[in-house]
Structure 1
Amino acid sequence: MNNRKNEKVTRTNSPHLKRFYYTLDQAIEKPFNWSQLGRLLQYVKPYSKKLLPAAILAMLISTLVRLIVPILIGKVAIDLAIQKQDTNLLVQLVVGVAILYLISYVANSLRIKWVNVLGQNVIYDLRTHLFSHVQRLSHRFFDSKSAGSILVRIMNDINSLQELFTNGIINLLMDIVTLLGIIVILFVLSPKLALAIMVILPVMFFISTKLRRNIRRSWQDVRIQQSRLNSHLNESIQGIRITQSFSQEKENTEYFNGINTDNFEAWRNATKRSAMFRPFVELSNAVGTVILISYGAWLIILGPTNGGIEVGTFVSFAFYLGMFWEPISRLGQMYNQLLMAMASSERIFEFLDEQPNVEEQTNAIELKDMKGHIEFEKVQFSYDDNRIALHEISLEMKSGETIALVGHTGSGKSTIANLISRFYDPTKGVVKIDGQDLKGVTIDSLRQQISVVLQDTFIFSGTIMENIRFGRPSATDEEVIEAAKVVGADEFIQRMGDGYETEVEERGNILSAGERQLLSFARALLADPRILILDEATSSIDTETEVKIQHALKTLLKGRTAIMIAHRLSTIREADHIYVLDHGRIIEQGNHRQLMDQQGEYFDLVKTQFEMLDAM
């Protein structure tokens, strides 16, 4: 914790963090990814037949009105109606402009409505796609990613795209149409004056181009700092009991302040750089106005007959000049918005491009009517390149047998269970069920017939009824209650205020460890699996609860292949076959009596357990 506290001070001297910032710099130097923008726009495609065309049409109508009105005011109102004192024409013009503005109001209202519906639908689809994809990723992915970093992608990064899809795309089109329309109209009205005003554009383009790289860099840094902040928040909240137990609140707060400061500085830097663009545009507007007044006044003095302009043309130019810099300013903001979206989309597509390590073959078959006969043929497995978890082991678990896996921590017991559920694929060798290589069957058909009860069972927010039904969502209330009765959970459930409708908090904090484990047994029984994996499932249960569990297991294990990973003798002594593992190798096997007679490693484990019980 103390190392964490000082990380902000020493981070530039840390080799790990140097690699972190080097990787960040490498990512930032990449050019603008147009193909990535194309991928984002693919999410708009389902709405491109109705919502998008309707929004574009409304945008074109309102833009057309904006472009027409200055001409009507300058050329018609001033040069014709006022100079010739034509009152009827002036009244007609006022009524016409009022009608045009009413049409523009309706068009803008519809545009805002339609683009917001479009944007929210796109964000909904993108978030759903990302969440669904993450759920299908292999365990290796979650081994290397923190929950906080995943949460940032699904929530913050997608939220940052919301403005792009709700307003950005349509506003971009509207500003481009407005700019092109203004340029054409200005050159039609007076090529000389238009050319004089446009002379500032190349300088503006050159300077704004220089700003883009720094702006993009700063927003990418914001996303990375947010990810670090959220990761730490998630870790701190989940580990709050440990933090308080060791009185480390102050140290944890100091470390959080360091990360929060980095996040604050990243936002401040990004905002400061982005804010430079608008004042620059306003400065350009000021220069353009000076040119308009000085050169435009001289052209008015010359008059139309000498190559000059009329007063109405000058007024129209003034209107268009004000309108001209406005879309340019918005385009600058749009570019900043686009850079933010690209920084977020890079992180979103990083996850979407992640492929499961456990891949389902295109010709995979459904494993129907599983019997539960499991075979390992010279299976080797490594979680990484540095350590082999299993060394070419071969074993057989016959249908309906109860198999126990015992051994010291890190001997490979849980790895075998993970390979049976195909959370990982073996590095070498083959894992078969009913003679079928697991790589050739569909993952859903395999896992739907396997239930896993872990040492640290997970209870979801919701009712007790919903938590048990998670094992089989189609189960009736009566089936849920029956499963709870079989495993002995009904007794404590009935004592709770609302019985099966009692709301349990996140992770089931209102329940004891034993009660949570009983619910997990009920959940597993309700799923009616052909293979049941109990991974230290009784280690956190008291003696009284264990008696209930032992009774429940007789019903739970009947007719099923069961793999039990446990240290308690009472849990494994009745197993049909016991495999003793050490550093990824099977060193002994047989039933309880046979292994005790051998007086080997298993005998020593049992003896040690009895000695510990006697000492207590």
Structure 2
Amino acid sequence: MSRRRPDPAAAEAPGATLATAITRLDLKARAEEEGPARAPLRWPLVRRLWSLTTPYAGLRNTLLVLTCVRGIQLPALPWILSAVIAGPLAARNWPGVLWGSAGFLALLLFTAVTFHYRMKLSLVLGEVVVQDLRRDLFGHLQKLGMRYYDRTKVGAIISRMTSDAEALRQGIQDVVFVSLVNVGHMVIASLIMAWYDLPLFGFVLAMSPLIWAIHRFFGSRLGTAWREVQSSMSRVTATLAESVSGIRVTQGFVRQERNAALFHELVSDHAGYNLRASRLSGVYIPLLDFNSQLFLAGLLVLGGWQVLHGGLPGFGGEQSPAEQAATFAALVVFIFQLPPFFLALRVVARQHNTALTAMAGAERVFALLDTEPEVLDEPDAAAPETIRGEVVFDDVSFGYDPKRPVLHGISFKAEPGQTIALVGHTGSGKSTVIKLISKFYLPTGGRVLIDGIATPGLRTEALMAELGIVLQSNFLFTGTVMDNIRMGQPSASDADVVAAAKKLDCLDLLEQLPEGLHTAVGERGGALSLGQRQLVCFCRAMLADPRLLILDEATSSVDGLTEARIQKALNVLLRGRTSFVVAHRLSTIRHASRVIVLDHGKIIESGRHNELLREGGVYAGMYRQFIRAGEAAS
């Protein structure tokens, strides 16, 4: 193999874009999957989100009561302290100080208990709601047809189940109840301060919008900055995972230095997002702290003027000693109430940003839940107990996009028990024919009839119960070989599974695995070879014992020796069933009842293997090519 040395200059060339690099994620596609980060607060959406708590009304209502209680407790604590300092302590009343301290400690204990249960119940409510939501999402996904999955990226679906569901959790367990606690805190604190000194409380109200504006200005930018940090980190981790998985290709094509340069740029981007977020935090947090201290200084100036001069300028004159004591008490109350008041204001502003994120997640989650499953059955669709297996295509046309049909006027008939081979070049329409038989789609023109019933009039469950499919890239679920074979018939015993493998003459191959039929297949079957995976899927189909059988490139991953061993077993599998076999290796379809040759969505030849060879047409030419390539059986 000739190899070219990587050009470091090219990797570092100005203007080199990473958007087309294999190791760089498509940022536009990722943005489409993630959707907008925020959405405005809309009452119908809020009401629907809140309705998720209806099954847990008792838990929710208890939590609401605790939330209201805590909203009163928080400003009551500093009020007791200020009252003790301005009252018994200023009057040197030691018993009063002790009683005030005891009252403070009692309320503090009550507050701690309330806080414990408020936190616990909110976490429980958020968890049970998200659990139900994910259950409903998964159940709904099972009902959606193939058309939905063909046009929707897996990443978008996973995002609905993970990050968007988590955003809803935050909206329910944090935004609502944390905001209520802090709004209650602000209301009670405002009433206390207004009761003690209304003019001085006017100064507090005048300063509140400034704190809110600072938080809104920096809070929205910080939220965006940290989301960019998370997004860039996900690109780094995804690229790392992809690079490790593809290390053989990387080293085989001497791409180490180039990939390292690309990864370095990704890490630099991530560092840049981190620095931007850190710079914003470095301005925002000290600014908030400065403003809080500045307001306290202003409060001391105005309150001190009141105490020393008998009220704010324009709000009073000389005061009696009792009035001066009341003015001093008010100043102490304000000093204790103001910091937590502004803290509650900042928390509410922060929760507003979280609420916008939750609204965006709710929009996407509910949009998925509102996606109507494609209707494949007529209202009065039949559900026969058994299917004979007669399949008729009557002038069938179909297009995944109605404006771009991929099948044109397909007509043929498969009698019960026949094996129909579908042959053609890539893109000829073979797999589409299979999808129509499987009722993953309905034809856009003409009819597909099974036992004389058009597929819309045949209940999907009844068809699937009599249908077995073995594909080229079969999916194995995490579990053992036994578990995956048993998926063809969940009620089957271990002996039934062993019998199915024996019928296919592959039991010895499966028993050679480290733990035999109890060998774990790994994620997506990664612990097995391609051939072993397909043997498992053959056994699954055999165990299911369907009347209709579809083999789509089913032996393409099986080596020649293994294929020869299971060819006779396949005859057992196909016997008595209506079978449709799609294969490029023509040796696997020589004994088919009928061979249908497709080209650009049309049938161009049809007949038995030997007949088509004698005609010397397209099929004969394909067969000669395989003979020359050494692919056909001797």
Using the alignment, how far apart are the partners of 2:108 and 2:519 within structure 1? Answer: 59
Aligned to 2:198: 191
Code of the residue aligned with 1:155 in structure 2: it is T
Code of the residue aligned with 1:531 in structure 2: it is L
Code of the residue aligned with 2:392 in structure 1: it is E
Task: Note if 1:401 corresponds to 2:418.
Answer: yes
Structure 1's 19 and 458: CA in aligned 2 closer, same or farther, altered over 3 A? Answer: closer
Using the alignment, how far apart are the partners of 1:7 and 1:182 within structure 2? Answer: 59
Counterpart of 1:301 (choices 290, 304, 308) is 308
Code of the residue aligned with 1:552 in structure 2: it is A
Aligned to 1:578: 595
How far off its partner does 1:30 sit? 6.3
Using the alignment, how far apart are the partners of 1:118 and 1:614 within structure 2? Answer: 62
Q: Percent sequence identity over matched residues?
A: 33
Question: Is the partner of 2:53 in helix, strand or coil?
Answer: helix
Aligned to 1:44: 53
How far off its partner does 1:563 sit? 0.4
Using the alignment, how far apart are the partners of 1:543 and 1:25 within structure 2? Answer: 45
Code of the residue aligned with 1:43 in structure 2: it is L
Task: Note if 1:55 corresponds to 2:55.
Answer: no
How far off its partner does 1:84 sit? 4.6
Aligned to 2:298: 291
Task: Note if 1:174 corresponds to 2:191.
Answer: no
Using the alignment, how far apart are the partners of 1:557 and 1:474 within structure 2? Answer: 23
How far off its partner does 1:498 sit? 2.0
Aligned to 2:352: 335
In the TM superposition, what whole-angstrom CA distance separates every residue of 1:274-318 from its partner, at most 9, and x where no partner exists? 776544443432232122101111222245847764322221111
Aligned to 1:119: 126
Question: Is the partner of 2:17 in helix, strand or coil?
Answer: helix
Question: Is the partner of 2:406 in helix, strand or coil?
Answer: strand
Aligned to 1:465: 482
Question: Is the partner of 2:551 in helix, strand or coil?
Answer: strand
* The 10-residue stretch of structure 1 (38-47 or 419-428) with the greater mean CA deviation from structure 2: 38-47
Using the alignment, how far apart are the partners of 1:375 and 1:614 within structure 2? Answer: 32
Aligned to 1:106: 113
Contact 1:223-1:344 at 8 Å conserved across structures: no
Task: Note if 1:552 corresponds to 2:559.
Answer: no
Aligned to 2:453: 436
In the TM superposition, what whole-angstrom CA distance separates every residue of 1:326-355 from its partner, at most 9, and x where no partner exists? 111222332333344345445545544555
How far off its partner does 1:390 sit? 1.0
Counterpart of 2:626 (choices 593, 609, 614) is 609
Question: Is the partner of 2:621 in helix, strand or coil?
Answer: helix
Structure 1's 172 and 31: CA in aligned 2 closer, same or farther, altered over 3 A? Answer: closer
Aligned to 1:455: 472
Report 1:407-446 matches (<5 A). 407-446=424-463
- Structure 2 regions of 5+ residues with no counterpart? 1-5, 312-318
Question: Is the partner of 1:555 in helix, strand or coil?
Answer: helix
Aligned to 1:592: 609
How far off its partner does 1:195 sit? 0.5
Aligned to 1:504: 521
Using the alignment, how far apart are the partners of 2:410 and 2:227 within structure 1? Answer: 47
Code of the residue aligned with 1:69 in structure 2: it is L
Structure 1's 418 and 262: CA in aligned 2 closer, same or farther, altered over 3 A? Answer: farther
How far off its partner does 1:506 sit? 2.4
Contact 1:11-1:17 at 8 Å conserved across structures: no
Contact 2:164-2:362 at 8 Å conserved across structures: yes
Counterpart of 2:543 (choices 513, 522, 526) is 526
How far off its partner does 1:414 sit? 0.9
Report 1:24-103 matches (<5 A). 31-33=40-42, 35-47=44-56, 49-75=57-83, 77-103=84-110
Using the alignment, how far apart are the partners of 2:217 and 2:595 within structure 1? Answer: 70
Report 1:235-274 matches (<5 A). 242-259=249-266, 261-262=268-269, 265-266=272-273, 269=276, 273=280
Code of the residue aligned with 1:452 in structure 2: it is I
Contact 2:38-2:359 at 8 Å conserved across structures: no
Using the alignment, how far apart are the partners of 2:352 and 2:45 within structure 1? Answer: 15
Using the alignment, how far apart are the partners of 1:5 and 1:349 within structure 2? Answer: 45
Structure 1's 315 and 363: CA in aligned 2 closer, same or farther, altered over 3 A? Answer: farther
Using the alignment, how far apart are the partners of 1:569 and 1:397 within structure 2? Answer: 20
Contact 1:79-1:310 at 8 Å conserved across structures: no
Code of the residue aligned with 1:423 in structure 2: it is F
Using the alignment, how far apart are the partners of 1:348 and 1:265 within structure 2? Answer: 31
Structure 1's 595 and 450: CA in aligned 2 closer, same or farther, altered over 3 A? Answer: same
Code of the residue aligned with 2:118 in structure 1: it is R
How far off its partner does 1:5 sit? 10
Using the alignment, how far apart are the partners of 2:554 and 2:226 within structure 1? Answer: 46
TM-score by length of 1: 0.87
In the TM superposition, what whole-angstrom CA distance separates every residue of 1:171-191 from its partner, at most 9, and x where no partner exists? 111011111111111111110
Using the alignment, how far apart are the partners of 2:358 and 2:127 within structure 1? Answer: 15
In the TM superposition, what whole-angstrom CA distance separates every residue of 1:44-86 from its partner, at most 9, and x where no partner exists? 3322x122222222233333232323333334x2454335544
How far off its partner does 1:90 sit? 3.1
Question: Is the partner of 1:503 in helix, strand or coil?
Answer: coil
Question: Is the partner of 2:422 in helix, strand or coil?
Answer: strand
Question: Is the partner of 1:430 in helix, strand or coil?
Answer: strand
How far off its partner does 1:519 sit? 0.9
Contact 1:5-1:251 at 8 Å conserved across structures: no
Structure 1's 228 and 429: CA in aligned 2 closer, same or farther, altered over 3 A? Answer: farther
- Structure 1 regions of 5+ residues with no counterpart? none
TM-score by length of 2: 0.85
Structure 1's 332 and 257: CA in aligned 2 closer, same or farther, altered over 3 A? Answer: farther
Code of the residue aligned with 1:369 in structure 2: it is T
Using the alignment, how far apart are the partners of 2:153 and 2:337 within structure 1? Answer: 53
Using the alignment, how far apart are the partners of 1:25 and 1:516 within structure 2? Answer: 34
* The 10-residue stretch of structure 1 (545-554 or 298-307) with the greater mean CA deviation from structure 2: 298-307
Structure 1's 269 and 8: CA in aligned 2 closer, same or farther, altered over 3 A? Answer: farther
Task: Note if 1:562 corresponds to 2:579.
Answer: yes
Aligned to 2:390: 373
How far off its partner does 1:130 sit? 3.1
* The 10-residue stretch of structure 1 (465-474 or 59-68) with the greater mean CA deviation from structure 2: 59-68
How far off its partner does 1:381 sit? 2.0
Using the alignment, how far apart are the partners of 1:122 and 1:8 within structure 2? Answer: 48
Contact 2:398-2:406 at 8 Å conserved across structures: yes
Code of the residue aligned with 1:65 in structure 2: it is Q
Contact 1:148-1:235 at 8 Å conserved across structures: no
How far off its partner does 1:590 sit? 1.8
* The 10-residue stretch of structure 1 (305-314 or 519-528) with the greater mean CA deviation from structure 2: 305-314
Using the alignment, how far apart are the partners of 1:234 and 1:426 within structure 2? Answer: 41
Using the alignment, how far apart are the partners of 1:25 and 1:499 within structure 2? Answer: 43
Task: Note if 1:481 corresponds to 2:490.
Answer: no
Contact 2:501-2:507 at 8 Å conserved across structures: yes
Using the alignment, how far apart are the partners of 2:532 and 2:280 within structure 1? Answer: 55
In the TM superposition, what whole-angstrom CA distance separates every residue of 1:397-427 from its partner, at most 9, and x where no partner exists? 2222211111122111111011211223333
Question: Is the partner of 1:511 in helix, strand or coil?
Answer: coil
Aligned length: 613
How far off its partner does 1:470 sit? 2.0
Question: Is the partner of 1:193 in helix, strand or coil?
Answer: helix
